């Protein structure tokens, strides 16, 4: 096995930044996609050997010779396809190390059951956690670029005002994706100044004066700054 070759499946929003970060840290990256648009984008970004294949076909996967790579990274934008790919790779290449990316706790469980050696849950991720997972400094730089690129993704702190619709709700009661955002963590005034990352199994009560930290596109971050001031949002503040 060649030491630092990575076989990366997917070149969507997450995939392209992961690929770039890995290259910057000295890895050799082979990009594999399932559609022409992503293949073209990868080539334009310098991944000239990018391949477009039908990842649902075992023969197409075998032709890639995944056993010759240090790690297989599954980051397809379609979560169902990502689970299917992880399951197929595990079935075909039992000795390969498979790392998969998840956008929800339900997908995380499916990927684990499908045989991924490690699942990075974007709802739990922090720069420190990614660094520990990959054991390489690329992860820290990857996250920094992902969240600070101009006109792209960023972090924003919000202090919950009095009479906000958020006051009194539990974090699990709120689907922040309805606002185009992801809740990263919070500072609960009752617990002191310690910042708590919101991870699976942790459910906090929100009160006025608490600080929440969200990640998302600048437009949605700006819009939510106005939304958090409102007393009522109807059903938009709760998961169905």
Which residues, 6+ apart, have CB-to-CB distance to 29 below 8 Å?
Answer: 5, 6, 8, 19, 22, 23, 47
207 token code pair: 């009160």
Strand 211-217 to strand 153-159: parallel, antiparallel, or no bridges (unpaired)? Answer: antiparallel
Q: What pLDDT, on a 0 to 100 scale, did the predictor assign at position 117?
A: 93
- Kindly report, residue by residue over 27-71, the tens digit of the pLDDT: 999 999 999 999 999 999 999 999 999 999 999 999 999 999 999
**Domain boundaries 152-237, corresponding CATH code:** 3.30.70.1450
Percent of the chain with pLDDT over 70: 76
- Kindly report, residue by residue over 149-168, the tens digit of the pLDDT: 545 667 788 899 988 999 98
**Domain boundaries 5-147, corresponding CATH code:** 3.40.50.720
| DSSP structure string for 96-143 | S-EEEEESSHHHHHHHHHHT-SEEEETTT--HHHHHHHHTSTHHHHHH
Residue 139 has pLDDT above 70, yes or no: no
Read off the pLDDT band of 14 (50, 70, 90).
confident
Residue 237 has pLDDT above 70, yes or no: no
Q: What pLDDT, on a 0 to 100 scale, did the predictor assign at position 109?
A: 86
Read off the pLDDT band of 131 (50, 70, 90).
very low
Q: What pLDDT, on a 0 to 100 scale, did the predictor assign at position 123?
A: 60
- Kindly report, residue by residue over 101-130, the tens digit of the pLDDT: 987 777 888 899 999 999 987 665 543 444
- Kindly report, residue by residue over 30-41, the tens digit of the pLDDT: 999 999 999 999
User: Contact 131/7 with Cβ under 8 angstroms?
Assistant: no
Read off the pLDDT band of 26 (50, 70, 90).
confident
Q: What pLDDT, on a 0 to 100 scale, did the predictor assign at position 236?
A: 47
The full set of domain ranges for the chain reads 5-147, 152-237
d(CA 99, CA 79): 14
- Kindly report, residue by residue over 202-214, the tens digit of the pLDDT: 678 888 888 888 8
């Amino acid at each position: 096995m060649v030491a630092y070759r990575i076989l990366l499946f997917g070149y969507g929003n997450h995939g392209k930044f992961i690929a770039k970060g890995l290259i910057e840290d000295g890895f050799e990256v082979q990009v594999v996609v399932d559609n022409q648009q992503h293949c073209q984008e990868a080539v334009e970004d310098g991944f000239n050997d990018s391949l477009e294949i039908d990842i649902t076909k075992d023969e197409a996967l075998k032709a890639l010779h995944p056993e010759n790579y240090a790690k297989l990274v599954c980051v397809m934008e379609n979560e169902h396809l990502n689970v299917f790919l992880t399951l197929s790779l595990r079935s075909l290449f039992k000795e390969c190390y498979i790392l998969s990316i998840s956008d929800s706790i339900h997908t995380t469980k499916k990927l684990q059951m499908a045989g991924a050696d490690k699942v990075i849950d974007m709802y739990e991720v922090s720069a420190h956690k990614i660094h520990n997972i990959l054991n390489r400094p690329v992860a820290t730089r990857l996250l920094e670029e992902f969240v600070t690129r101009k006109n792209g993704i960023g972090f924003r702190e919000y202090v919950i005002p009095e009479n906000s619709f958020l006051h009194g709700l539990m974090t699990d009661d709120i689907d922040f994706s309805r606002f185009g955002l992801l809740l990263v963590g919070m500072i609960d005034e009752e617990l002191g100044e310690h910042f708590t990352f919101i991870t699976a199994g942790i459910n906090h009560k929100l009160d006025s004066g608490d600080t929440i930290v969200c990640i998302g596109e600048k437009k949605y971050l700006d819009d939510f700054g106005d939304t958090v001031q409102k007393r009522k949002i109807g059903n938009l503040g709760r998961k169905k």
